[in-house]
Chain A
Amino acid sequence: DADVTQTPRNRITKTGKRIMLECSQTKGHDRMYWYRQDPGLGLRLIYYSFDVKDINKGEISDGYSVSRQAQAKFSLSLESAIPNQTALYFCATSVGRAQETQYFGPGTRLLVL
């Protein structure tokens, strides 16, 4: 079984809809991250969480919100989806201060029409 899982793997939605992307991990890591990837722009950090009570904005948090429901679960919400949020979204985990080594989920492809 995969250590970091994301659901759904693919999603098509319409402008203005609220959607949630979910991430679960069985690695026991305390730190979790949400990234967005667009062609030619690499990985950009949306939000990150160092433990259940700690949530931090990344470089592109506008239009997104997150919830850390438990150490193993970190969900990303788009309150009102817009077409330029069409992208590939990755969840990742790391342990302690060893942030250089992050473990990524398989990604969610999101298309906003």
Chain B
Amino acid sequence: GQSLEQPSEVTAVEGAIVQINCTYQTSGFYGLSWYQQHDGGAPTFLSYNALDGLEETGRFSSFLSRSDSYGYLLLQELQMKDSASYFCAVRDHGNQGGKLIFGQGTELSVKP
């Protein structure tokens, strides 16, 4: 089966850098995705890593190490609006390419 682990809560101050980790166990692996969800809102796609290394998109970066079954989302120059839940997800190997399995989410609180 598939499982993902990520911290349930992280707190940081405005302007700081925060890293949200995700470890996974899967029977097969395509890549690691990250989604952001503001309270009660729709999850929105942030990034996807299929290969080892760092992918940067503005203030957000995502890293993957396939050998360690580990990835992280790095948020720089934190802003109050970054307070949200962040989910990592992997694609399950299965019918026609499978489906996404989501972690339980990390709630990020950004303090002034």
Chain A residues packing against B (C-beta within 8 Å) = 4, 33, 40-45, 48, 50, 54, 56, 58, 88, 90, 92, 97, 99-107, 109
Contact = CB atoms under 8 A, between A and B. Distances in A.
B43 A100 contact: no
A26 to B, nearest CB: 15
Interface string B27-44: 000110100000011111
Nearest to B96: A50
A25 B48 CA distance: 23
A102 B45 contact: yes
Contact of A100 (B31, B40, B41, B104): B31
A101 B45 contact: yes
A107 B40 CA distance: 8
Interface residues of B, number: 25
21 contacts: A33-B99, A40-B8, A40-B104, A42-B87, A42-B103, A42-B105, A43-B43, A44-B102, A50-B95, A50-B96, A56-B95, A90-B42, A92-B43, A99-B97, A99-B98, A100-B30, A100-B33, A100-B89, A101-B33, A102-B43, A104-B44
Contact of A99 (B43, B100, B103, B104): B100
